Structure 1
Amino acid sequence: MNIPLWTSSEAETFTSGKSTAQWEAHSVSIDSRKIEKDGLFIAIQGPNNDGHDYIAMAQEKGAAAAVIAESKIGDFKDCPLPLLVVTDTTQALYDLAAGARFRTKAKVIAITGSVGKTGTKEGLRCAFTALGKTHATEGNLNNEYGLPLTMSRMPADTDFAILEIGMNHAEEIRPLSKLAKPDLAIITTVAPVHLEFFHGIQGIADAKAEIFDGLGDDGVCLLPREHALFHHLRARARDTGVAFENVLSFGKHEDATYRQVDTEFKTTSTDVTCLYKKHCESFSIQMPGDHWATNSLCILGAVDILGEDVTKALNGLKNWKPSKGRGQRHIIPLEDNGTAILVDESYNASPPAMKAAFKVLADMPLTHGKRIAILGDMLELGETGSSLHIALAKELESRQIDAVYCCGPLMGEMYKALPTSMQRLHAKDSSTLFDAVLSDLEDGDILLIKGSLGSKMVPVADAFIALSDAASQDKTPIKTPTGAMNLKPKEVHSHVV
């Protein structure tokens, strides 16, 4: 029997709204492009679009019902689609999220951090899926709309919920954590990201620490023990009422609750050994890199803290693999029948993430060929942007990266600080990078692509991935014409908040 996610009577109870007819919904959407048959469409009134303009589209796509504002009811007197009429549609989204949290007995984990939260969230999903019915944030739906949307989609019989919470300003995480009411709060790390919105890294730490506000009396938090601000974070947790014994930690530090004592790097995996509670646990993850080894301790720790089967959960980690733009690897065919390897880290970037990616590139076995870094600007770093970029030059040199292609004004500062032997190209924007790199590729080369989303490194990666995909279908190397990149965003006509 397919149990509905929401019924009209349940939704009325939690939103204090009134339905024009009875209905049952099996999904929830605030994006008219993603409405599913028998789904509930919430007509959010955003700053640029009004979801009420897409009620007809929702009906055409087979929605079960739509949530509309009482002030708009006059526009839908003859609408055949069942409507849940509420005072405010955004508040209704939050009300459904709160209702979903109220009705479930799931153990809830909330995770945040400047770097690694999305990848670690996916690892948590894999581990807990091996233990029971798990509901987790899709993609990066982790903001003021994404978090309540994720929660509103949580089935009542969920066993474990993994909720990612993001931010770029203070006071964003606190209300979302209070909505989520987690049993366990995890901070992966605190790094100089979004610095233009904060007065230094301690301000970022305080913003991340807002995640503690949603914890109950028995709530537990898991913090990075090696971080310079560990004691500051622990103090913030204690200030919000977290018991001393419930402030736990992970990392290589000898005092870490979940301590990383050995790591072995392989081409496409990492072997990790962890000590905790007088136990020694060794396991393998399909996530290359020391930073993922450290973050895997969050996962082991979460399972142990919630009293679940660690062995079974670690077995589930076999399904934890890099996602698009976050470390996926692709074989790139060359015209001379040789191949290169692409490490796609194009989704986003920050100083610590850049350094971690450089280490991954340096650790990859190289029998012949070059290690190549293709880099775009790291954004939202404020007045420290130039110095943080320049510092990457020494990092690249220390990792013995052979060639650097980059774009953007900030990377231009870094490029000038590089030894001339490493310099290949600095471009104004990313549009010329693909052709330049492709013409210089040789058999055995390894490419790393990374930059903030706004630096448009994703199209560069996609152009190389298209080569890989075409070759895998044809089974023969292909030649790609120049100018293959498309930097234009896809045209959309429907409502997105």
Structure 2
Amino acid sequence: MTLWTAADAAAATGGRVTADWVADGISIDTRTLRPGDLFVALTAARDGHDFVAQALDKGAAAALVSRIPEGVAAGAPLLIVPDVVAALVALGRAGRARTGARVLAITGSMGKTSTKDMAAAALSAQGRVHAAEASLNNHWGVPLTLARMPADTDWAIVELGMNHPGEIEPLARMARPHVAMITTVGPVHLEAFADVAGIAREKAAIFAGLEPMGGAIIPEDLPTTPILRAGADAAGAVIVGFGEQGAARPLQVRPDAEGIRVQARILGETVDFRLASAGRHFAMNAVGVLAALEKLGADLKASADGLSRWQPDKGRGAVERLGGITLLDDSYNANPASLAAGFATLAQLGPGRRVAILGDMLELGPDEVAIHRDIASWPAMGDISLVHACGPRMKAMFDALAPEKQGFWAQTAADLCARADELVQDGDVVFVKGSKFSRVASVVDVIRKSRQTPAPDDAPDKRNT
């Protein structure tokens, strides 16, 4: 199916084409490029122009470039523009403008990607769904998602992330959602914000991009809820709160062998659904998703049924029984709010010695050491028998623990991996959590290997939170 013709892409970007071409996809990485893709030569850690020849050799329909790269003939199929990122943004705006899809945008301090994936699963039987891949949620990830959207899409789910002030609003105005949802607000990226209230104001900027009379789905039980509500009011949005006391709320959350079963009240209607992951925070976000999809115009009962198709990605809260232990793999990323949610999930997971393996949390600002140290005194730590940790920040937490709870501390995750056989024992319930750059996910891989259970396919690289 044709996604972009040379003429349409040139008109959208104001660029110049060197030959006629038709693309049925868009790629930014030659490792995953498929024949027929338009290759976008982004410049990040490496300059994408250095890979244009390789992309064309692999069957790319054309390349979006700001210059003719070395080794590429002038007659090769190119779309030449002054700035590649600006052209990608223009292509994303054009992709959004040409579709009649109903658009849901999601942001929040945690849970964006799993919530986006829940929404896609819930809509999967209700028409053609286009959702952001992985966590493509930044200044080039959002336009890439929109540019990849087929014109005949029925439902679109876009994820918006940030790590500095002023990033959410332009992304929201690009996506022009009919409904926008905030999963939660927590102490993330505090090195770039004065306080959590500033983070809430940045998240609430998503409502500035809403289509007229759009829906705002906000968490009802937060100290910063008034800030979110004020942002939605300023945008003229129709507000729906979700939470323990919201218009969308869980009535019952019951763990079972495969996850949790939930009964919820959604805008006056009671629905039942199941999720393939433990954790009340997953149930709460699913309730928010159902409210968002109802406001988007989807069938509520069909959406609830569709949630059973959702499976958590590797490192994002999946529970596995393997080789005599129960593993809660939440190792992809971490902040204090998601760590607290993980501890709450751990408490629900059947009998056994609780073992936590924790890596550093990043981007917490000047108080990061104190924030880590305080974890040792959290009430949830009382239910944990043994803690292993890695990283200089988690050293503060480890040193503050009661001696009987101290397992191993190591400077790096690799050092913990070397002691994998000593970390857990049969019957343990094991929780692994840390920021991506702590590399604590590598400990999960070693534990899986030692327990002779194949690891799931690696999740694609993610960007912002």
Tell me the TM-score normalised to structure 2 length.
0.93
Structure 1 distance, partners of 2:71, 2:6, is 18
Residue 247 (structure 1) aligns with: 239
1:217-366 maps to which residues of 2 (within 5 A)?
217-239=212-234, 241-243=235-237, 246-253=238-245, 256-333=246-323, 339-366=324-351
Residue 26 (structure 1) aligns with: 24
Structure 2 distance, partners of 1:472, 1:173, is 38
Query: Given residue 16 of structure 2, which amino acid in structure 1 is its aligned partner?
Result: K
Residue 459 (structure 2) aligns with: none
1:184 deviates by 0.6
Of 389, 410, 416, which residue of structure 2 is paired with 1:406?
389
Is residue 56 of structure 1 aligned with residue 50 of structure 2? no
Of 442, 448, 454, which residue of structure 2 is paired with 1:459?
442
1:31 deviates by 2.2
SS in 2 for 1:195: coil
SS in 1 for 2:38: strand
Structure 2 distance, partners of 1:411, 1:364, is 24
Structure 2 distance, partners of 1:409, 1:188, is 30
- Give a deviation string over 1:315-352, Cα, whole Å, max 9, x none: 1111112210112233443xxxxx11222111000111
- The runs of 5 or more residues in structure 2 that have no matched partner are 456-465
Structure 2 distance, partners of 1:404, 1:7, is 56
**Aligned residue-pair number:** 455
SS in 1 for 2:60: coil
Of 418, 441, 463, which residue of structure 1 is paired with 2:424?
441
Q: In 2 relative to 1, CA 437–446 (structure 1 residues): closer, same or farther, beyond 3 Å? A: farther
Higher Cα Rg, which structure: 1
1:435 deviates by 3.8
Q: Verify the 8 A CA contact 2:344 2:380 in the aligned structure 1.
A: no
Q: Verify the 8 A CA contact 1:65 1:83 in the aligned structure 2.
A: yes
Q: In 2 relative to 1, CA 472–384 (structure 1 residues): closer, same or farther, beyond 3 Å? A: closer
Of 135, 141, 145, which residue of structure 2 is paired with 1:146?
141
Residue 431 (structure 1) aligns with: 414
Identity percentage of aligned residues = 40
Residue 462 (structure 2) aligns with: none
Q: Verify the 8 A CA contact 2:271 2:304 in the aligned structure 1.
A: no
- Give a deviation string over 1:387-408, Cα, whole Å, max 9, x none: 2222221336555111100012
Q: Give runs of ≥4 in structure 1 deviating > 6 Å.
A: none
Residue 491 (structure 1) aligns with: none
Structure 2 distance, partners of 1:143, 1:391, is 31
SS in 1 for 2:347: helix
1:179 deviates by 0.6
1:175 deviates by 0.9
SS in 2 for 1:14: helix
Of 104, 116, 129, which residue of structure 2 is paired with 1:121?
116
1:68 deviates by 2.0
1:237 deviates by 1.9
- The runs of 5 or more residues in structure 1 that have no matched partner are 334-338, 474-497
1:169-184 maps to which residues of 2 (within 5 A)?
169-184=164-179
Of 208, 211, 218, which residue of structure 2 is paired with 1:213?
208
- Give a deviation string over 1:233-278, Cα, whole Å, max 9, x none: 1112222x324xx01110102xx12122222223431122222333
Q: Which moved more, 1:277-286 or 1:106-115?
A: 277-286
SS in 2 for 1:169: coil
Residue 458 (structure 2) aligns with: none
SS in 1 for 2:332: coil
Q: Verify the 8 A CA contact 1:267 1:364 in the aligned structure 2.
A: no
- Give a deviation string over 1:394-423, Cα, whole Å, max 9, x none: 336555111100012221111122222211
SS in 2 for 1:109: strand
Q: In 2 relative to 1, CA 442–85 (structure 1 residues): closer, same or farther, beyond 3 Å? A: closer
Structure 1 distance, partners of 2:175, 2:230, is 22
Query: Given residue 314 of structure 1, which amino acid in structure 2 is its aligned partner?
Result: A
Q: Verify the 8 A CA contact 1:405 1:437 in the aligned structure 2.
A: no
Q: Verify the 8 A CA contact 2:110 2:184 in the aligned structure 1.
A: yes
SS in 1 for 2:221: coil
Query: Given residue 382 of structure 1, which amino acid in structure 2 is its aligned partner?
Result: G
Of 39, 42, 45, which residue of structure 1 is paired with 2:40?
42
- RMSD of Structure 2 on Structure 1 (CA): 1.9
Is residue 189 of structure 1 aligned with residue 172 of structure 2? no
Residue 393 (structure 1) aligns with: 376
Q: Which moved more, 1:139-148 or 1:380-389?
A: 380-389
Tell me the TM-score normalised to structure 1 length.
0.88
Q: Verify the 8 A CA contact 1:376 1:450 in the aligned structure 2.
A: yes
Query: Given residue 22 of structure 1, which amino acid in structure 2 is its aligned partner?
Result: D
Query: Given residue 26 of structure 1, which amino acid in structure 2 is its aligned partner?
Result: D
Query: Given residue 352 of structure 1, which amino acid in structure 2 is its aligned partner?
Result: A
